[in-house]
Chain A
Amino acid sequence: MKFSSNGLYVEEYVKCTNCGTLIYESDRPACVESTDKELFCSQWCVDWAAAREKRWKQNA
């Protein structure tokens, strides 16, 4: 979640690409950015999304 410079309103709602958790600006340093610039709240989410995609492709 990105706040305006005066902190009075929200300018952007940022969520984890996998689990959908709201990511505050203070959380950003702990986040993981994938090679295609997608933002994840944790390495667990990166791994989970990759495993899901692989499983869905196998089952397709």
Chain B
Amino acid sequence: MDPVMMKILDSTMVSVCREMGITLMQTSYSTIFNEALDFTCAIANRDGDMIACAEFCPAQIGGMPLMAKSMVKEMPLDQFDEGDIVLHNDPYRGGLHTPEHTFFKPIFVNGEIRGFAVSIGHIAEVGGMVPGGFCGEATEIFHEGLRVPPVKIVSKGVHNKDIWRLLLANVRTPRYNYGDLRALISAVDLGERRMKEIYSKYGADVVDQTCNDLMDYSERRMRAEISQIPDGIYPFEDLVEDDGIEDRPYKISVEVHKTGDDIVADFSGSAKQAKGPINATLGVTLSATYNALLHMTDPSIPKNSGCFRPIRVVAPAGTIVNVNYPAPEVGGNTETHPRIAGTVIGALANVIPHLAMAAEGATHGNFVFGGVHAATKEFFACYDIEVVGWGGRSFADGNDACDSINGNCRVTPVEVFEVRYPWRVEDWVFREDSAGAGKFRSGVGYTKTLTCLNDEIIISQMTDRHKVAPWGLNGGLPGDKGATLFMLSGANEWLDASQAYGKISPSKYSNISIRKGDRVRLVMPAGGGFGDPKERDRESLREDVVEGYVSAKAAQDIYGL
């Protein structure tokens, strides 16, 4: 092992992945990419092991290795030619959820495949029951858009027009989909080109050996971190509040087994899979477990498949953590992922509380909408990500209004949002007393109020935390829940989706027709607090009151000021 070469190569490949991401951002058409950054770029070796990635979406980083390995199983290396590009989004073949479109481009050196450039991105509109992909009332995978098993969308450098025609005939916004898919292809084109330059500079055998050394190094670093956790079995449970179809909660139960430098996360006690779309695929559960452990270990460990070798996941088929075909699953990757990660963090908080975070808001809002724009006469669709308060930690307050643990995405700025879509944003306000109280309080939630400017907008949503509050740790209190409220034009009271439209769930619903002048208010949850609120630093508390984060009454009643 040459540690200098390893460091040079790791940094170079991470830079390549970042450059791929910037290319994707700058060439895409939809706000989910060019504003929210809901994508990830990576390099894999010929076996499908991830050897480098950029710091974009954590859900996709943890999910990429299984997708790549599944792709290689179905499309063996001898079926590839130079210039091919494979597209894959199938949740039942190692994927995360239908919107997550993944492109693989083989990296040929001297006629032999050495690895793959990979880009994964959340396509905002994928067909199916609702504009925007998140159908809160889906009961089959077929309601959730077009499923694409691994197919060559580009063969020997020539685009397969038949596949393009098939893809674009099944979505509501073909022009935007075309632009976004081409942006993902641009990313793998760039990644392939840069990796060829690296292979040319250092030699193929040196690069491959160094990549193997790099994964071994990450494995050793991760094992060293894990070995510091006391041996034992640590259980934890949390709930997804409902599935959009039945009004009952679904349990996610984990036992984290720590022995030596190995971890097994066993989810066998979790609920049977739901009828509605909250189910996670195995890829999601793997990714969520990795995500939790990456959050609790040294962030300087190079992120590659070596990190994941000490971690086993047991996720029995037919449960909410490993859905069986053909059940729906679109919310598993956004809502159930942070619950799964949260249970692993909650379990380990028993023994390493100094590295743990109380529950975060654990939803992306997933407010999706579409319609025909009155000004352009063109169909629009949007996946709007909303953010949450993060949980308090042993050393600091939680982040205010930050994307949930698996997203790392940005909020689309109001100015862009209003130009692109026929809504007016009336307000966007941090919520006083929403934070879970604690020695270190959570980040705060907020409200965002929208007024419809179009004749009609069709909205759907797949969110959570409207009924089950985010938990606190070490005496910290739960944070405030969220809500989605409607006030129809001419009315004077706010109602949730159950009250206003008779939906089973107030947080998961499909195809509500909003008319011009109607208003929608998104109330986003906070997180849980860490430690006894009465131990909060008094100066920080007084600042909270001045800033409007904590009311004078709560400062007195809860914090004992």
Q: Does B103 have its Cβ within 8 Å of any Cβ on chain A?
A: no
Q: Does B250 have its Cβ within 8 Å of any Cβ on chain A?
A: no
Of B70, B92, B314, B325, the contact of A19 (CB 8 Å cutoff): B314
In the bound complex, residues from chain B placing their C-beta under 8 Å from that of A18 are: 314, 316
Q: Are A19 and B315 in contact (CB under 8 A)?
A: yes
- CA A22 – CA B215 in complex, angstroms? 24
Known: A13-B324, A52-B266. A20 touches B314 (CB 8 A): yes
Chain B nearest CB: distance from A10 CB in Å?
8
Q: Does B322 have its Cβ within 8 Å of any Cβ on chain A?
A: yes
Q: Does B168 have its Cβ within 8 Å of any Cβ on chain A?
A: no
Q: Are A24 and B314 in contact (CB under 8 A)?
A: no
Q: Are B73 and A26 in contact (CB under 8 A)?
A: yes
Chain A nearest CB: distance from B45 CB in Å?
19
Number of A-B contacts (CB under 8 A): 41
Of B70, B93, B317, the contact of A20 (CB 8 Å cutoff): B317
In the bound complex, residues from chain A placing their C-beta under 8 Å from that of B70 are: 22
Cβ proximity bits B307-325 to A, threshold 8 Å, 1 near / 0 not? 0000011111101011011
Q: Are B282 and A48 in contact (CB under 8 A)?
A: no
Of B73, B92, B321, the contact of A13 (CB 8 Å cutoff): B92
Closest chain A residue, CB of each to CB of B92:
A13
Q: Are B322 and A13 in contact (CB under 8 A)?
A: no
Q: Are B325 and A22 in contact (CB under 8 A)?
A: no
Closest chain B residue, CB of each to CB of A27:
B73
- CA A13 – CA B266 in complex, angstroms? 22
Q: Are B314 and A22 in contact (CB under 8 A)?
A: no
Chain B nearest CB: distance from A8 CB in Å?
10
- CA A24 – CA B322 in complex, angstroms? 16
Q: Are B73 and A20 in contact (CB under 8 A)?
A: no
Cβ proximity bits B254-269 to A, threshold 8 Å, 1 near / 0 not? 0000000000101010
- CA A15 – CA B94 in complex, angstroms? 12
In the bound complex, residues from chain A placing their C-beta under 8 Å from that of B316 are: 17-20
Q: Does A34 have its Cβ within 8 Å of any Cβ on chain B?
A: no
Chain B nearest CB: distance from A9 CB in Å?
9
Q: Are B315 and A20 in contact (CB under 8 A)?
A: yes
Cβ proximity bits A36-49 to B, threshold 8 Å, 1 near / 0 not? 00000000010010
Q: Which residues of A contact B (CB under 8 A)?
A: 1, 10, 13, 15-22, 24, 26, 45, 48, 52
List 23 contacting pairs A-B, 8 Å CB cutoff, sorted by A: A10-B92, A13-B92, A13-B324, A13-B325, A15-B282, A15-B317, A17-B316, A17-B317, A18-B316, A19-B312, A19-B315, A20-B282, A20-B314, A20-B315, A20-B316, A20-B317, A21-B282, A22-B93, A22-B94, A26-B73, A45-B314, A48-B264, A48-B314
Give me the 7 closest cross-chain CB pairs, A-B, nearest first: A20-B322, A15-B317, A20-B315, A20-B317, A19-B314, A13-B325, A24-B73
